[in-house]
A and B are shown apart, each in its own frame.
Chain A
Amino acid sequence: MNPTEGETDALAEPVPGALGERILLGHGSGGRLTADLFQGLFLPAFRSPQLEVAADQALVELGGATVAVTTDSFVVSPLFFPGGDIGRLAVCGTVNDLAVGGATPLYLTVGFILEEGLPVADLRRIVASMAEAAREAGVTIVAGDTKVVERGKGDGVFVNTTGVGLVPPGLRLSPRAIRPGDCILVSGPVGDHGVTIMALRSGIGVEAGIRSDTAPLSGLVRALLDAVPGAVRCMRDPTRGGLATTLVELARAAGLCFQVEEAAIPVREEVRALCEMLGIDPLYVANEGKLVAIVDGAAADAALAALRSHPLGREAQIIGRVASGPPGAVHLRTVVGGTRPLDLLEGEQLPRIC
């Protein structure tokens, strides 16, 4: 806040500081408010070299090995949705945060916060789903914790998972490795997960064939890294805030300008239709099984082929490239040939009325 000189009225307005006085839903959206919370509260208190990097995973040196660590909590409602459930999500979310850092995910811990009255059958289903997702991802669940809160103090089940993985010697992925001329790849259609959840919550229903893309990316990442050794600069899984927020974060971290073609970004027909109906932009909708990779331009075709040869990457596309231009900007060439910059998601994404 930096009111203009002489504009005392602006000063008199109750403009709160970056955090405001209370936590809002938007502070958990993964967008700008979340960043404010991290920068304004958590980082100053917990400051460490790993937190300063603010990546999806922290890298620590242990006994000569580079170990990746990450943690994530899951509070999705409804607990079960087409394409997954909170258990599958909790395993995949943490596995993916490790995988996009180049790590091979190895071990998970699981913490449950259960609400009094939860049907045991539901918990059984969630746990079975977690076990299956862990097998798919090749990780072992090695520790856990359970707490029960009074009825009304939780939303059925909250799950926290913490993951540990091993980074192959010599591999260092970082936005700072991005160079002009690099290509931007996405592993498949965006928006599936977020739109599935929004459709369920809005009561529109999901019989139109929309399902969450929740999946562990460790296999896909391995296939890509093996196919184009040394050519992958950086990877992310575009979860909260969607593809657009992820691209902006990468462009800023790299200090470079991204040029993206709207027409090249894969979005399922059903997802596009629902987004039009709700008035939201699929580029800002969460994914839980998609990969964004920035790859040396010379290796882009090989990288695309590698992604497409994996079951989770069949619909992969090259969506843009790193170019000269204002540092930190992401320019989208729209389907009609205009240009608009993309920005971080502002606050919580609310479905539009019409």
Chain B
Amino acid sequence: MRFVDEFRQQPLAQGLARALARAAERLPRPIHIMEVCGGHTHAIFRFGLHDLLPPQVRLIHGPGCPVCVTPRSRVEQAIALARQPGTILTCFGDMLRVPGHRTSLLGARAEGADVRMVYSALDALEIARAHPDRRVVWFAIGFETTIPGNAMAALRARGMGLQNFYLLTHQVLLPPALRAILDAPDVRVDAFIGPGHVSTIIGTEPYRFVAEEYGRPVVISGFEPLDLLQSILMIVRQVAEGRAEVEVQYRRAVPPRGNPIALRAMAEVFTPVTQEWRGLGMLPESGLGLRPEFAEMDADRAFPDLAPGELPDPRACACGEILRGVRTPPECPVFGTGCTPEHPLGACMVSPEGACAAYYRYRPHRSGRAEAAAAKAGDPEAAAAAAPAAGTPAATPGPGTPAATPAAGPSAPGGESR
């Protein structure tokens, strides 16, 4: 496959691994690198990249999965909306399985709610056009990669004069999340692998504070195995040489200033708001909500009284600490016991791109407690067998994953292929 296989060549990967091993010898101490983006986490596990890293380099899986960071209260609200008569709730496929308090959107659908999986916001718009007698709600989640598509849907809905299209927004911005991680007292992150596809939209400027204020290197990376290995090498070299800069490894896709058209559309429709993150809590100016000019499309206004109020994260769950890199998944008391991919308690177990789900699926032996003990006793990363999401179910575009492919028509999720 052209433009993909080139970035998966084993001789080059082995060459990069050797260069990494040499460069790591010059590190003053072992370092923790956070890959912020769920798409990166996915690739690291899918290609078993842990096996190619020197022991001085440990990877921490960050909060860059939009499905994972959507709080339970918002999921509950989406479920309540879906249950309204005359209403169709549309969302990305992997949002379907995310647990709210009592159930998930998939569960609500099994009970009769009209929940439809789509491939892009524009598909949701098409459903609204085809069903003028129904209220169609688009569950507009995502990072900077997905938000321009949500903006386009709102602009087009206005252009088409649609009166029955609404957005339930939970849109999150990456730089404020990085600041929150860096401001935490127990932060353990020495450098960041920056999400390449967020930077195709926002460019490199918004990360400068990470290098300048916090002295941590950022390398904005592509998503293929060679991209990631090269990015890790660039980070190791920065640390070894005592530099902290924002560098771009993913130069084939990232313009320094991002995508001005997308940024304009976002600014026209949305405005910064304080946003709740599953695992990280309330972060100021960390989200985008609809501007007052688009109030008539705001599901929060059109369906008042459906917000369930506060629903804090389950106390037993260590998601917050895992997202900040303070604990590894096996160190969580409910990992693999009370919290599994089928019945996730916390954000990181929800999506296949989440850190806990990736650990859970790709470690050959998993008895939560024994594993946690092993992880505490020894090296958790080395103990973690590497591998990606089995079956890799539908994922909402992470900050790293590219914008949705405009596929036609809604589709029943999954179903039987026989």
Chain A residues in the interface with B (C-beta under 8 A):
1-4, 7, 9-11, 13-16, 20, 22-26, 28-29, 31-33, 72-77, 89, 93, 193-194, 197-198, 201-204, 239-242, 244, 263, 269, 272-273, 276-277, 279-281, 284, 286, 288, 326, 329, 331-354
CB < 8 Å: which of A263, A279, A333, A341 contacts B392? A279
Q: Which residues of A contact B8 (CB under 8 A)?
A: 335-336
Say yes or no: B51 contacts A338, CB within 8 Å: yes
Say yes or no: A341 contacts B363, CB within 8 Å: yes
Q: Chain A nearest CB: distance from B91 CB in Å?
A: 10
User: Complex: how many Å from CA A78 to CA B399?
Assistant: 34
User: Complex: how many Å from CA A244 to CA B388?
Assistant: 13
From B390, which residue of chain A is reached at the shortest CB distance?
A343
Q: Which residues of B contact A269 (CB under 8 A)?
A: 1
Binds A, one of B101-109, B161-169, B252-260: B101-109
Is B285 an interface residue, CB under 8 A from the partner?
A: no
From A349, which residue of chain B is reached at the shortest CB distance?
B391
Q: Give a binary string over B130-151; 1 marks a CB under 8 Å from any A CB, 0 the rest.
A: 0000000000000000000000
**How many A-B pairs with Cβ below 8 Å?**
252
Say yes or no: A203 contacts B407, CB within 8 Å: yes
Q: Which residues of B contact A73 (CB under 8 A)?
A: 418
Q: Which residues of A contact B364 (CB under 8 A)?
A: 326, 329, 331, 341
Q: Count residues on chain B whose CB falls below 8 Å from chain A CBs.
A: 82
Is B271 an interface residue, CB under 8 A from the partner?
A: no
Task: List CB contacts (< 8 Å) of B392-415 with chain A.
Answer: 392-397, 401-405, 407-409, 411-415
Say yes or no: A10 contacts B316, CB within 8 Å: yes
Greatest chain B CB density within 10 A among A77, A194, A335 is at A335
Q: Chain B nearest CB: distance from A77 CB in Å?
A: 7
Q: Which residues of B contact A336 (CB under 8 A)?
A: 8-10, 13, 47-49, 52, 225-226
Is B416 an interface residue, CB under 8 A from the partner?
A: yes
Is B333 an interface residue, CB under 8 A from the partner?
A: yes
25 contacts between A and B (CB under 8 A): A1-B338, A2-B338, A3-B334, A23-B110, A28-B416, A31-B391, A74-B418, A75-B416, A76-B416, A77-B412, A204-B407, A269-B1, A284-B391, A334-B48, A335-B8, A336-B48, A337-B10, A337-B13, A338-B51, A345-B391, A346-B341, A348-B414, A348-B415, A350-B93, A354-B403
Say yes or no: A339 contacts B385, CB within 8 Å: yes
Is B275 an interface residue, CB under 8 A from the partner?
A: no
Q: Which residues of A contact B317 (CB under 8 A)?
A: 10
User: Complex: how many Å from CA A214 to CA B10?
Assistant: 34
Q: Which residues of A contact B13 (CB under 8 A)?
A: 336-337
Is B158 an interface residue, CB under 8 A from the partner?
A: no
Q: Which residues of A contact B413 (CB under 8 A)?
A: 25, 348, 350-351
Say yes or no: A337 contacts B106, CB within 8 Å: no
Q: Chain B nearest CB: distance from A30 CB in Å?
A: 9
Q: Chain A nearest CB: distance from B59 CB in Å?
A: 13
- Given A3-B316, A348-B414, CB of A14 within 8 Å of CB of B102: yes
Majority SS at the chain A contact face: loop
From B120, which residue of chain A is reached at the shortest CB distance?
A353
- Given A4-B337, A354-B397, CB of A25 within 8 Å of CB of B345: no
- Given A2-B338, A15-B338, A284-B392, CB of A354 within 8 Å of CB of B416: no
Say yes or no: B393 contacts A348, CB within 8 Å: yes
Q: Chain A nearest CB: distance from B257 CB in Å?
A: 23
Say yes or no: B385 contacts A24, CB within 8 Å: no
User: Complex: how many Å from CA A241 to CA B334?
Assistant: 27
Is B237 an interface residue, CB under 8 A from the partner?
A: no
Is B92 an interface residue, CB under 8 A from the partner?
A: yes
Is B387 an interface residue, CB under 8 A from the partner?
A: yes
Q: Which residues of B contact A288 (CB under 8 A)?
A: 418
Q: Which residues of A contact B324 (CB under 8 A)?
A: none
Say yes or no: B362 contacts A16, CB within 8 Å: no
Say yes or no: A281 contacts B392, CB within 8 Å: yes
Q: Which residues of A contact B339 (CB under 8 A)?
A: 10
Q: Which residues of B contact A352 (CB under 8 A)?
A: 93-94, 392-395
User: Complex: how many Å from CA A167 to CA B17?
Assistant: 52
Q: Which residues of B contact A331 (CB under 8 A)?
A: 364
- Given A4-B333, A338-B50, A339-B48, CB of A354 within 8 Å of CB of B401: yes
- Given A22-B110, A353-B395, CB of A340 within 8 Å of CB of B365: no
Q: Which residues of B contact A281 (CB under 8 A)?
A: 46, 388-392
Q: Which residues of B contact A346 (CB under 8 A)?
A: 341-342, 352, 361, 390-391, 393
Q: Chain B nearest CB: distance from A72 CB in Å?
A: 7
Q: Which residues of B contact A351 (CB under 8 A)?
A: 93, 119, 394, 411, 413
From B5, which residue of chain A is reached at the shortest CB distance?
A335
Say yes or no: A349 contacts B414, CB within 8 Å: yes
Given contacts A7-B338, A73-B418, A353-B120, 11 further A-B contacts (CB under 8 A): A72-B418, A279-B392, A279-B395, A284-B391, A338-B49, A340-B45, A341-B362, A341-B385, A350-B393, A351-B411, A353-B94
From A345, which residue of chain B is reached at the shortest CB distance?
B391
Q: Which residues of A contact B389 (CB under 8 A)?
A: 281
User: Complex: how many Å from CA A241 to CA B337?
Assistant: 24
Greatest chain B CB density within 10 A among A13, A26, A31, A326 is at A13
Q: Which residues of A contact B293 (CB under 8 A)?
A: none
Say yes or no: B411 contacts A22, CB within 8 Å: no
Q: Which residues of A contact B102 (CB under 8 A)?
A: 14
Q: Which residues of B contact A194 (CB under 8 A)?
A: 417
From A325, which residue of chain B is reached at the shortest CB distance?
B364
Q: Which residues of A contact B405 (CB under 8 A)?
A: 277, 353-354
Is B14 an interface residue, CB under 8 A from the partner?
A: yes
Say yes or no: B345 contacts A15, CB within 8 Å: yes
CB < 8 Å: which of A15, A76, A343, A353 contacts B343? A15
User: Complex: how many Å from CA A342 to CA B96?
Assistant: 24
Q: Which residues of B contact A349 (CB under 8 A)?
A: 391-393, 414
Say yes or no: B392 contacts A9, CB within 8 Å: no
User: Complex: how many Å from CA A249 to CA B393?
Assistant: 20
- Given A15-B343, A281-B392, CB of A77 within 8 Å of CB of B337: no
